[in-house]
C-alpha cells in the first residue's frame, strides 16, 4: 500500500511538472492524457464487462461537436460561424472562451451519457459479435450523418474557437495540458474507486457468464447500461478537450474517426491488458510513443504499420503487457504460487 501512494505522488508530481520540464512535448502529453482516458474507459465495458465495442467513438465525436457548438453558440450565431471564414468575424474574449469551454465540457460529458443510457437498452441486448458490428455501424453512421448536417460545418469542417490572447504564447498549451491532465486524474480516481466496489464484480460476472449472472439475481441489463454510461461520460469529456486541442473538427477525419481513434482505444486497452486497472494506461503510453515514432519517421506508411500492428497484437499478444507480466511474476499480483508447480512449469519449458 505504501509503495502505491509513493507511486501516485510521483506520477502526480511528474504530471504537474511535465509541461515545464518538456515544453516541446506539451501537445503530445495532452494527447497522451486523452488517449489514456479513452483506453481506460473503453476498458470498463470492453475489458471488465466483456462487451467489445467499436462504437465508443460515437460518444467521443458527439462530445467534440457538442463542446465546440456550445462554446460558439452561447455567444454567436452558430450557422454564421460555420460558414467559411465565420470564425474570423467573431472573436471570443478570454472570459467568453473559458465560460464557453466550461459549459461546453459539461454538456459534452452529460449528453453522451444520456445518449448511452437511451440507446443502451436496445444495443446492449446484443451479444458478442453482433454487438461489435452494431457499434461499428453506429460509429460510422454517426460520422456519415454528421458530415451531411449543414449547421455544424457539414463536409468542410468546423473550426473551434481559437484560444484567446491572454498575454503569454505558452498559455494555450498549458491550459489544454492541465485540462486533459485533470480529466485523466479524475478518470483514474473514478475508475479506481469503481474497481474496488461490488459493481466491478458484477461487471466481471457479466463478462464471464451473463446467463449465470442473471440467474443469480443480478439485473444484468441495468449494470450493463450503467457501465456503458460511465464510459460515455468520460469519452464525451475527452472528445470535448480534444476538439479544442486540435482546433478543427471534421466529421470523418477527426470526430468520428473510426479508422484511427476508434481502433486506437481498443488496441491500447488490448496492448496493455484487458480487464486491469493499469493495463490501458501502460498500453496507451507504449502505443503513443510507438505511434508518434512511426508517424514521424515513416509518414505515409503509418496505416500499413497500424494494420500489421493490430494483426500481430491480436494474434500473438492477446493477453497484453499486464497479462504477460502476470504470467511472469505472479507473486507481485498477489497470487500464491506453489513451488512445485513452478518447477514443473520450468521443466515443461
Interface residue list for other proteins (CB under 8 A): 52, 122-123, 125-126, 128-130, 132-134, 136-138, 140-141, 143-145, 147-148, 155, 259, 263, 266, 270, 300-301, 303-304, 306-311, 314-315, 318
Of the candidates 57, 84, 97, the one whose C-alpha atom is nearest the C-alpha of residue 260 is 57
| E strand or H helix that includes residue 133 | helix 128-146
Q: Is 61 or 240 the residue whose CB approaches other proteins more closely?
A: 61
Q: Is 122 or 197 the residue whose CB approaches other proteins more closely?
A: 122
Angle at 278 between CA 63 and CA 327, to 5 degrees: 140
Q: Is 120 or 240 the residue whose CB approaches other proteins more closely?
A: 120
Exposure string over 183-198, b if 16+ CB within 10 A, otherwise e? bbbebbebbeebbeee
Q: Is 109 or 268 the residue whose CB approaches other proteins more closely?
A: 268
Q: Minimum distance from CB of 196 to other proteins (Å)?
A: 27
The one-character DSSP state at 332 is G
CA distance linking residue 61 with residue 139, whole number of Å: 9
Q: Minimum distance from CB of 56 to other proteins (Å)?
A: 14
**3 state SS of 338:** coil
Q: Is 8 or 295 the residue whose CB approaches other proteins more closely?
A: 295
Q: Is 27 or 313 the residue whose CB approaches other proteins more closely?
A: 313
Q: Minimum distance from CB of 139 to other proteins (Å)?
A: 9
Q: Minimum distance from CB of 189 to other proteins (Å)?
A: 29
Q: Minimum distance from CB of 273 to other proteins (Å)?
A: 15
CA distance linking residue 191 with residue 176, whole number of Å: 22
Q: Minimum distance from CB of 158 to other proteins (Å)?
A: 16
Q: Is 94 or 125 the residue whose CB approaches other proteins more closely?
A: 125
Distance set, CA 316 to CA 99, 177, 231, 260, 326 (Å): 48, 35, 28, 22, 16
Q: Minimum distance from CB of 216 to other proteins (Å)?
A: 17
Of the candidates 234, 283, 183, 262, the one whose C-alpha atom is nearest the C-alpha of residue 44 is 234
Q: Is 185 or 263 the residue whose CB approaches other proteins more closely?
A: 263
Q: Minimum distance from CB of 231 to other proteins (Å)?
A: 17
Q: Is 136 or 194 the residue whose CB approaches other proteins more closely?
A: 136
Q: Are 280 and 272 in contact (CB under 8 A)?
A: yes
Q: Are 55 and 61 in contact (CB under 8 A)?
A: no
CA distance linking residue 143 with residue 152, whole number of Å: 12
Residue 171, strand partner residues: none
CA distance linking residue 40 with residue 237, whole number of Å: 13
Q: Minimum distance from CB of 257 to other proteins (Å)?
A: 12
- Look up residue 197 and give its three cell numbers: 466496489
CA distance linking residue 324 with residue 330, whole number of Å: 10
Rounded to the nearest 10 degrees, the angle between the axes of helix 198-208 and helix 171-195 is 80
Amino acid at each position: 500500500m505504501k509503495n502505491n501512494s509513493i507511486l501516485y505522488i510521483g506520477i502526480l508530481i511528474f504530471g504537474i511538472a511535465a509541461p515545464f520540464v518538456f515544453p516541446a512535448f506539451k501537445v503530445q502529453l495532452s494527447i497522451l492524457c486523452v488517449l489514456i482516458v479513452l483506453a481506460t474507459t473503453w476498458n470498463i465495458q470492453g475489458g471488465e464487462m466483456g462487451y467489445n465495442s467499436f462504437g465508443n467513438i460515437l460518444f467521443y465525436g458527439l462530445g467534440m461537436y457538442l463542446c465546440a457548438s456550445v462554446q460558439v453558440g452561447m455567444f454567436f450565431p452558430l450557422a454564421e460561424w460555420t460558414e467559411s471564414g465565420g470564425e474570423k468575424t467573431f472573436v471570443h474574449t478570454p472570459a467568453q472562451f473559458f465560460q464557453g469551454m466550461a459549459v461546453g465540457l459539461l454538456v459534452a460529458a452529460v449528453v453522451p451519457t444520456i445518449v448511452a443510457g437511451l440507446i443502451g437498452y436496445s444495443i446492449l441486448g446484443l451479444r458478442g459479435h453482433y454487438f461489435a458490428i452494431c457499434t461499428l455501424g453506429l460509429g460510422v453512421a454517426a460520422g456519415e450523418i454528421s458530415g451531411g448536417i449543414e449547421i455544424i460545418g457539414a463536409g468542410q469542417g468546423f473550426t473551434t474557437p481559437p484560444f484567446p490572447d491572454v498575454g503569454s504564447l505558452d498559455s494555450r498549451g498549458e491550459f489544454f495540458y492541465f485540462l486533459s491532465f485533470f480529466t485523466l486524474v479524475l478518470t483514474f480516481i473514478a475508475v479506481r474507486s469503481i474497481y474496488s466496489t461490488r459493481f466491478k464484480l458484477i461487471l466481471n460476472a457479466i463478462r464471464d457468464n451473463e446467463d449465470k449472472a442473471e440467474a443469480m439475481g443480478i439485473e444484468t441489463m441495468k449494470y450493463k447500461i450503467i457501465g456503458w454510461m460511465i464510459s460515455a461520460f468520460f469519452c464525451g469529456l475527452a472528445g470535448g478537450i480534444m476538439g479544442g486541442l486540435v482546433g478543427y473538427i471534421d466529421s470523418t477525419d477527426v470526430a468520428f474517426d473510426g479508422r484511427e481513434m476508434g481502433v486506437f482505444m481498443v488496441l491500447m486497452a488490448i496492448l496493455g491488458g484487458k480487464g486491469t486497472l493499469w493495463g490501458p494506461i501502460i498500453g496507451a503510453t507504449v502505443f503513443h510513443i510507438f505511434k508518434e515514432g512511426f508517424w514521424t519517421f515513416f509518414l505515409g506508411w503509418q496505416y500499413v504499420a497500424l494494420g500489421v500492428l493490430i494483426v500481430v497484437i491480436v494474434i500473438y499478444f492477446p493477453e497484453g503487457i499486464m497479462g504477460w507480466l502476470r504470467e511472469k511474476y505472479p507473486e507481485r499480483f498477489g497470487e500464491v504460487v506453489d513451488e512445485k508447480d513452478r518447477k514443473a512449469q520450468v521443466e515443461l519449458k
